[in-house]
Structure 1
Amino acid sequence: MKKVLVTPRSFAKYNHQEILALFQSNNIEPIFNPYNAIMNEEQLIEALKDVDGLIVGVDPITEKVINSAPNLKAIAKYGVGIDNIDMNIAEAKKIAVSRTVGANSSAVADYSFALLMAVARRVVEIHNGCKNGDWGKKIALDVFGKKIGILGLGAIGRGMVQRAKGFNMDIYAYDIFKDEAYIQENNIKFVDVETIVQECDFISIHMPLTEETHHMINRDLLSNAKSNLVLINTARGGIVDEEALYEAIADNKIYGAGIDAFEEEPPQNSKLLSLENVVVGSHTAASSFEATNLMSLMATENIIRDLERM
């Protein structure tokens, strides 16, 4: 019987019996994360000693971890971002790596727009104030008819385009790849990142973390932003220079931010957590019932397929 380590805590939470049946019918024993937290290198090394497959969330699958797993033949990402997996060593060892592309795009786009609305309309501030007896009015920003910049036009970015259309927003976008037909069909202004930061009222990030995108949103860019800018990041924390973002918000250079992805998770002593006009999440944008079920099913099918090929 083959063994598969499963690290995401939400995996198969709502379709458990269906997933277990799939494992059993394919002669696979699932081993679930016992720590109720993101696993660290040492924990992964111990857990992967005699494991054939891995279904992973955001846990660090480093060169050291992979080299310590002699039987590992396949990794199924529970999600789409693979920046936590050392792809060079995985490829060198001929370990198959798969992703659950498209499974959570609607959920992440929903959450991204929810963060945008929450920051713009100061929903959390007003909620907390009312619960503490403060019934004063708080002036906030309109969203309808404003300019939004979308960084990354993959499935999630395109989901944001559809939601922004419902609010009659002027849509700006940037992506490494330019799909002319899609851009024209959706009346998108395709421009560089600098123009988006300078002209847009809202920016939502949906790009992978790479050497090129690391700290893409930095102090220089933010110094040219509009004072009413709301920045949303549900992608990866390293894309935003968090110190520069804190300074921009604290100094009233921009209006606020919605952050579901930090460079360190959970963040330790992040000054961003002290700001009222910052709404944060626990990297939870993909956590809807529907997305969780579909990601669990797709990751299971991917690992079964790849282990059968080995």
Structure 2
Amino acid sequence: MAELDSPLATLTPAPAARPRLVSVRRMPPTVAARLDRDFAGAFAVDRDIDREESLALLEEHKAEALLFSSGFKLDAGFIERLPARVKVAATCSVGFDHVDVAAAKSRGLVVTNTPDVLTGCTADLAFSLLLSAARRLPEADQMLRRDAWGPRAMGDFLGVRVWGQTIGIIGMGRIGRAVARRARGFDMRVLYHDAAQLPPALEEGGHFMADLDAMLGQCQFVSLHCPYTPATRHILNRRTLGLLPPGAVVVNAARGGLIEEEALIDGLKSGRIAAAGLDVFEGEPRFDRRFIDLPNVSLAPHIGSATVETRDAMGLRCLDNIAAVLSGRPAIDPLWS
């Protein structure tokens, strides 16, 4: 098995019948094994492949497909430079705000994502952040690690009750509905805001609120699950955060740009917002380091889908999409039809 000069990727000199692709992200063992078995080309191994190198590899190995993820920008400039033989690009994510859809459509490039397979685990992580933030688990953990457990009064270290409270879900897609199901298990009242009301069979016992402002005023908890678009950027901002009841808890496991972080930090510092659980940040992997100094924040590094089962399913779904397109069949999960 040959190696690239830069030891970034493994090359598989397979028969011509195998589809050729470049995989710019390191994949879990199960997905890597299928790459080696069923595909030829360049596959990231020791570290991720950057955009410039990926273009060179696509050309060098006459690849017809690109496998990437949300940290890799498929913007208009990059799409314009893709070799003409590249037919499909599969993002190992459900969100696609890193893809210039108009540019891809104009070029005739098929782009796919991975809906469904990460729904449950991302909802689990969102609800974990909700519980952790509400019950001050990061502070409790640090107290024990500092060996600072001492006598406390009954009024010390109080969190926010979760069961029986009202949660507002912004974005009632697959993940939002999965969070609603988990919330109902805690006897929570579920309100949701979306572009339109869902059919009753999909509402998961939730009550549709067309007016976001009116919903926020009733929510002890608010959880974000909408896509990031120009219309949803900073949907929670200084004004809308101010509509939450004092002592509310904010959870974001969708996209960092949905929250105006400066306003959230101010609310957390003042105590008007009791706590936040954040898995995503604006500008990640860089993030506002002030969050680290706030004791009332539960932080995670965008790991909503990070379970063995889910990451395997995501990678394999990408390969299923690529194999379909390169064999002349329709994509399973195209971003547009």
Give TM-score scaled by structure 1 length.
Answer: 0.91
The structural deviation recorded for 1:48 is: 4.0
Q: Give the secondary-structure state (helix, strand or coil) at the position aligned to 2:273.
A: coil
Would you say 1:190 and 2:208 are equivalent positions? yes
Alignment of 1:126-205 (within 5 A): 126-136=140-150, 138-182=157-201, 186-191=204-209, 192-205=211-224
| Structure 1 pair 129–43 and aligned structure 2 pair: CA distance change class (3 A) | farther
The structural deviation recorded for 1:65 is: 1.3
Partners of 1:162 and 1:199 in 2: how far apart? 19
Q: Give the secondary-structure state (helix, strand or coil) at the position aligned to 2:327.
A: helix
| Structure 1 pair 135–255 and aligned structure 2 pair: CA distance change class (3 A) | same
Partners of 1:15 and 1:87 in 2: how far apart? 26
| Structure 1 pair 42–142 and aligned structure 2 pair: CA distance change class (3 A) | same
The structural deviation recorded for 1:69 is: 1.2
Per-residue deviation, residues 89-144 of structure 1 (Å, max 9, x unmatched): 10001001111110100000000000000100111110111011111452111101
Q: Give the secondary-structure state (helix, strand or coil) at the position aligned to 1:143.
A: coil
Contact 1:151 1:173 in 2 (8 A): yes
- Match for residue 254 of structure 1? 273
- Match for residue 212 of structure 1? 231
| Structure 1 pair 243–36 and aligned structure 2 pair: CA distance change class (3 A) | farther
Partners of 2:134 and 2:81 in 1: how far apart? 47
Aligned residues: 302
Partners of 1:114 and 1:30 in 2: how far apart? 39
Query: Structure 1: 5+ residue runs without aligned partners?
Result: none
Partners of 1:106 and 1:30 in 2: how far apart? 32
Q: Give the secondary-structure state (helix, strand or coil) at the position aligned to 2:128.
A: helix
Contact 2:177 2:204 in 1 (8 A): no
| Structure 1 pair 204–268 and aligned structure 2 pair: CA distance change class (3 A) | closer
Q: Give the secondary-structure state (helix, strand or coil) at the position aligned to 1:255.
A: strand
- Match for residue 53 of structure 1? 65
- Match for residue 67 of structure 1? 80
RMSD, matched Cα: 2.0
Partners of 1:79 and 1:276 in 2: how far apart? 31
Partners of 2:176 and 2:269 in 1: how far apart? 28
Partners of 2:69 and 2:135 in 1: how far apart? 32
Partners of 2:223 and 2:47 in 1: how far apart? 30
Contact 2:190 2:205 in 1 (8 A): yes
Give TM-score scaled by structure 2 length.
Answer: 0.84
Q: Give the secondary-structure state (helix, strand or coil) at the position aligned to 1:286.
A: coil
Partners of 1:20 and 1:305 in 2: how far apart? 18
Larger Rg: 2
Letter of the 2:139 counterpart: E
| Structure 1 pair 30–101 and aligned structure 2 pair: CA distance change class (3 A) | farther
Query: Structure 2: 5+ residue runs without aligned partners?
Result: 1-15, 330-337
| Structure 1 pair 149–13 and aligned structure 2 pair: CA distance change class (3 A) | farther
Q: Give the secondary-structure state (helix, strand or coil) at the position aligned to 1:5.
A: strand
Moved more, 99-108 or 50-59: 50-59
The structural deviation recorded for 1:32 is: 2.5
Q: Give the secondary-structure state (helix, strand or coil) at the position aligned to 1:199.
A: coil
| Structure 1 pair 75–230 and aligned structure 2 pair: CA distance change class (3 A) | same
| Structure 1 pair 7–226 and aligned structure 2 pair: CA distance change class (3 A) | farther
